[in-house]
Amino acid sequence: MSQSSKDAVALLKADHRKVEKLFESFKSAKQSDRKMKLAQEICTELMIHATIEEELFYPACKGEVDDDMMAEAYVEHDGAKVMIAEILASSPDDRFFDAKVTVLSEEIKHHVKEEEAPSEGVFAQAKKAGLDMDDLGAPVAGSQAGTDGQVEERAPPAAGDQVVYWARAQAGRSS
Ligand SMILES: [Fe+2]
Ligand SMILES: [Fe+2]
């Protein structure tokens, strides 16, 4: 592995840690505008991450990682998109706003556990199958930087459509 290359799994795991921190910050946030800002940041990060996985990483896993596990991963992404759409259409004044963010965090925690599980998880299986993580890392890093802009949606539930367009618009964000 060359020192300048970026390992796709390491990049995806770094995204997971970033979102976990944002969910933690949301938990302790008190003011409405802070909550809304954090929720929007969480939703943006998750949509970009999910799109990168669906466009780059998951297709590379096809035939290498257990089929049922990959099918569940796609379905879990779709479930999260519905909740993300609801959160973005809502506000901290909504009685269920905090609950929606909490439920989303629980869904994501479960999903991340399945991706990262030692030896049986999606990432571990992909590595075991010999997927070239450095090769995949470059386009993943490019998409994370918002330079790609080619992310396309994979048949989402209707509620997810607007979120994808919104995430695309946010993809050129400064950080
Ligand atoms: Fe995922
Ligand atoms: Fe992930």
Mean pLDDT within 119-128: 95
Residues with CB under 5 A from ligand 1 (ion): 53
Contact yes or no for 138/5 (Cβ under 8 A): yes
Q: Which ligand is nearest to the CA of 80?
A: 1
pLDDT band at 133 (very low <50, low <70, confident <90, very high): confident
CA distance 50 to 151: 10
Domains of the chain by residue range: 3-174
- CA of 53 from ligand 1 middle (Å) equals 6
- CA of 53 from ligand 2 middle (Å) equals 7
- Residue-wise pLDDT for 76-114, tens only, equals 999 999 999 999 999 999 999 999 999 999 999 999 999
Q: Which ligand is nearest to the CA of 72?
A: 1
- CA of 115 from ligand 1 middle (Å) equals 7
Assess whether pLDDT exceeds 50 at residue 36: yes
Mean pLDDT within 119-137: 91
3-174 CATH fold: Four Helix Bundle (Hemerythrin (Met), subunit A) (1.20.120)
**Residue with the two structure tokens 């896993």:** 61
CA distance 110 to 79: 12
- CA of 11 from ligand 2 middle (Å) equals 10
* Cα within 13 Å of Cα(3), Cβ side: 0
pTM attached to this predicted model: 0.81
Assess whether pLDDT exceeds 60 at residue 118: yes
- CA of 80 from ligand 1 middle (Å) equals 10
- Residue-wise pLDDT for 5-14, tens only, equals 578 999 999 9
CA distance 153 to 168: 10
- CA of 49 from ligand 1 middle (Å) equals 7
Mean of pLDDT over the chain:
85
Assess whether pLDDT exceeds 70 at residue 172: no
- Residue-wise pLDDT for 45-77, tens only, equals 999 999 999 999 999 999 999 999 999 999 999
- CA of 108 from ligand 1 middle (Å) equals 8
* Cα within 13 Å of Cα(166), Cβ side: 19
